[in-house]
Amino acid sequence: MPAFDPTPAKVPAIAATALPAAGGEEPAGDRCAAAGPALLRLSGVGFTYGERARKRTVLRDVELTLRAGEMLCILGENGAGKSTLLKLCAGILPAQSGRIECVGQPIGGRRGLSRQQIARHIAYLPQDSGHIFPFTALEVVLMGRYARARQHFESAEDLGAAEAAMQQTSVLALRDRPLAELSGGERRRVLLAQALAQDTEIVLLDEPTAGLDPAHALQLGQAMGRMCERGKALVFTTHDLNLAARFAPRTTLIHDGRLALSGPTLEVLAQAGPLLGVSLHLGRLPSGIPFAVPT
């Protein structure tokens, strides 16, 4: 078999619907979105930073529904509002217009879910934690069990959930290492394990593969797919178009504060180039895995 040549001249720009699989397992980007019950719903949501002359509206009239078993990728240029959208979904920022519901209950407002109640339903991994905790890797992961704690000390169930999450992100061998001694990529995987250990119906990951080497990024994508197969709903932001193409059945792209494109991932990628400031060439590896090359 000849070696793959990724040069743009040899990678045809093919519409998403014209990318037949070459056999093997069907990539997630080819599949339709899940049709389970709605777990997270945004209706007419908007958000603006700053005041008066410094106001900057980053999101306008966002309509979005996330269902059980569904994986959604969010694309957009830097500053498009991807992280803001996840913070709104997690209840970290208040929606200034519209309504956000988690499992049918409002997020925000006097009658909305409390922080602990939100944490029982939604796990959130920020783009940058900004802190190096003076704890071991295992202790940091166990913090993800706080919302489910029935006592002051972790139970055997908590420990088992933490170890299982660390196994999924390949950091179990680091369990007794202080977080400050780990590399940036290792710390990222520990915090991912913390989010997984929370064991929520909804998982929000802001650029989860940032700082990860290719092997661990691939393992994470596979772990994300397994989570959705177990009925969890997952949203992740990324600038890695190949991660989206391979693992996300559904994608939405934010442009000018709005969800400019939404639908099956390969169809979105086929139209996304102008909104990302690049030309995109779509194709497949001999295994049938789709890829997107910006030029």
Contacting residues for 272 by C-beta, under 8 A, at least 6 apart? 75, 241, 253, 261, 280
CA distance 219 to 264: 23
Domain spans of the chain? 8-131+201-211+230-294, 134-200
Eight-state DSSP code of residue 122: E
DSSP tag of 54: G
Q: Supply the Cα-derived Rg of the chain in whole angstroms.
A: 20
Closest CA to 29 of 272, 274, 232: 272
Q: For 134-196, give the DSSP string.
A: SSBHHHHHHGGGGGG-SSSS--HHHHHHHHHHHHHTT-GGGTTSBGGGS-HHHHHHHHHHHHH
Cα 68 from Cα 231, distance rounded (Å): 5
pLDDT tens across the length of the chain (295 residues)? 444 334 333 333 333 333 444 344 556 655 555 568 899 999 999 999 988 778 899 999 999 999 999 999 999 999 999 999 999 999 999 999 999 999 999 998 778 898 889 999 999 999 876 667 789 999 999 998 887 666 666 788 899 999 999 998 899 999 999 999 998 889 889 988 999 999 999 999 999 998 889 998 998 899 899 889 999 999 999 999 999 999 999 999 999 999 999 999 999 999 999 999 999 999 999 999 999 999 8
pLDDT (0 to 100) of residue 130: 62
Q: State residue 68's pLDDT score.
A: 95
Q: How far apart are CA 237 and CA 108, in angstroms?
A: 23
DSSP state of 130: -
CATH 3.40.50.300 fits 8-131+201-211+230-294, yes or no: yes
Q: What is the pLDDT of residue 98?
A: 95
E strand or H helix that includes residue 66:
strand 56-67
Cα–Cα nearest to 203, from 45, 72, 293: 72
Nearest to 261 by CA among 130, 79, 75, 126: 75
Q: State both tokens at 37.
A: 């019950």
Tell me 245's DSSP state: H
Report how far residue 8's alpha carbon sits from residue 290's, in angstroms, rounded to the nearest whole number.
15
| 3-class secondary structure, 233 | strand
Which helix (H) or strand (E) segment is 98 a member of? Answer: strand 97-102
Q: Give residue 67's pLDDT.
A: 95
Report the alpha-carbon distance of residue 175 to residue 76 in Å, rounded: 35
pLDDT at res. 21? 40
Q: Which amino acid is at 212?
A: L
Element (H, E) at 121: helix 115-121
pLDDT at residue number 153: 63
DSSP state of 217: H
